[in-house]
Amino acid sequence: MSNSGEIWVIGEQRRGKLEEVSLELLSKGTALSQGVGVTLSSVLLGDEVEEVARELVFHGAEKVYLLEDARLRYYQSEAYTSLLAGVIKEHKPQIILIGATEIGKELAPKVAAKLGTGLTAHCIDLYVGEVDAAPHLIHVVPGWGGNLVMHIICPQKRPQVVTVKPGVLPKPVRDENKKGKIIRVKPDVRDQDFSRIETVGVVEEPPKGKALESADVVVCGGWGMNALGDFSKVQELADILGGAVAGTRPAMDKGWVDEARMIGQSGKTVSPGLFVSLGASGAMHYTTGFMGSKVVLAVDQNPQAPIFQMADIGVVGDLCEVLPCLIEELKKDRGG
């Protein structure tokens, strides 16, 4: 940690729309930069994305380095990597935050390796703390076994790079009155950056069913749903609550949910207003997927299941009895 060197959030835009995670990172970025006393900046690559750069300012970026070129319209692996490495080498930020989207998960390690620096993936928190009597940025990641987390630091190499999954950090408030500088950097886009690898198209497929990331209620079924044979009651409960359906890894392996709806360390992270866990015992790599939820309701037949440590409200009982009863009670409550 030093008091020179900016904190950067790499903004990710697709088709002129900013990824939510970039905004979430700005809230953490603001907290960190104020604490350390340095500038919070953002970097944005794309084509005709000045509007997007302004959004970054409205969400807390004091500066935005804007690199625009027609050839950068879509994510281009080599071009983006070398351009980012270039601006980083020039401006020497000390900390870089990148969203762990499908693209971010590839871009972050390429940039970090190009710069020979440290990268920590999937942080669930970041703050400045003391290690061996010196201030360090602590990268908090889920640990193994029970309720443990690990603290990681990058003591020497700079910049230190961290990624955070979408849905982990809160979104900052948008304020159009916020002022920030948009610095246009003319990107040196070379033919050779496209000779070995080039993105030639993007196809978007809207998700089937209610989107997980934006749902205010998520109903997640686990291995215990075996007792009922299928996921129909999970869907029914989700429908009544106006929520999205999700599953644990065992549920995905069983074919009840797609990989896109799997909650957990290697799957999705959600922070809805209400998270309902049905028949999942509560292993750490599952629970990190919903840690940020406001209220957690857990139902399981085993009173010793670790999930009850991670819940606000716990119901011990046979899913075959509890679920239909819960659905009925909610119908009564809603329908009258």
Partner 1 sequence: MVSQHSGLTNVAQWGRLYVRNDEAGKALSPIEMVNPGYYILFKNVESCGCLSKGHLQNKLTEVKMDLNLSREHEMLRDMVKEFADNELAPRALELDNKGEFFWEQVKRSGQLGLMGVINSKEYGGTAMGHLARMILIEEISRVYPPLGFFHQTGNLLMYAIETFGSDEQKKKYLPALCKGEKVSALALTEATGGSDPANMQTEATLEGDDYVVNGRKSWISAVDPADFVGFVARTGDKFSAFIVEKGTPGFEVTRREETIGLRSLPVNEFALTNCRLPKENLIGEEGRGLASALTTIATIGRTGAAGVGLGIARGCYEIALKFAKERVLYGKPIAALQAIQFMLTDMNVEIEAAKWLCYSTAWQLDQGKTSRDLAVDIARCKLYAVDVANRCAYKAVDIMGAYGLSPEYRVIGLLRDALELGVAAGSQEVMKITIGATITR
Partner 2 sequence: MELEILVCIKQVPHPDHFSEIRLDVSSGRIIREGVPAIINPLDRNALEEGLRVKEKFPGRVTVISMGPPQAQKALEEALAMGADRGILLCDMAFAGADTLATANTLFYAIRKLGKFDLIYCGNETMDSGTAQVGPQLAELLDIPQVSGVQEVTFGDEKILEVKRALEHGYMKVRVKLPALLCVTRDINRPRLPTVQSIMEVAQKEMIIWKAKDIGAPPESIGLKGSPTCAAGVYEHKTGRRREIMQGSIEEKVQRTVARLKELGAI
Tell me whether residue 100 or residue 278 sits nearer to partner 1 (CB atom). Answer: 278
Interacting positions 275-314 with partner 2 (CB under 8 A): 283, 285, 291, 294-297, 303, 308-314
> Which of partner 1, partner 2, none sits in contact with 311, Cβ below 5 to 8 A by type?
partner 2
287 within 8 A of 143, measured Cβ to Cβ? no
Asked whether position 303 contacts partner 1 by CB under 8 A, the answer is: yes
Give every CB contact of residue 195 below 8 A, 6+ residues apart in sequence: none
Tell me whether residue 57 or residue 284 sits nearer to partner 2 (CB atom). Answer: 284
**Omega into 135 within 30° of 0, i.e. cis?**
no
Among 301, 314, 315, 324, binds partner 1 (CB under 8 A): 301
The amino acid that residue 319 corresponds to is L
The amino acid that residue 53 corresponds to is A
Q: Residue 119 is encoded by which pair of tokens?
A: 């990268």
> Which of partner 2, partner 1, none sits in contact with 302, Cβ below 5 to 8 A by type?
partner 1
For 298-334, give the DSSP string.
EEES-TT-GGGGG-SEEEES-HHHHHHHHHHHHHHHH
> Residues binding partner 1: what is the number (CB under 8 A)?
4
Query: Binding string, 140-169, against partner 2, x = CB under 8 A?
Result: ---xxx-xxxxxxxxxxx--x---------
Asked whether position 207 contacts partner 2 by CB under 8 A, the answer is: yes
Interacting positions 68-127 with partner 1 (CB under 8 A): none
Beta-bridge mates of residue 247: 221, 262
Interacting positions 112-131 with partner 2 (CB under 8 A): 112-114, 116-122, 131
Q: Which residue has the tokens 């291995």?
A: 223
User: How far apart (Å, rounded) are the C-alpha atoms in residues 113 and 317?
Assistant: 50
Binding site residues, partner 1, CB under 8 A: 301-304
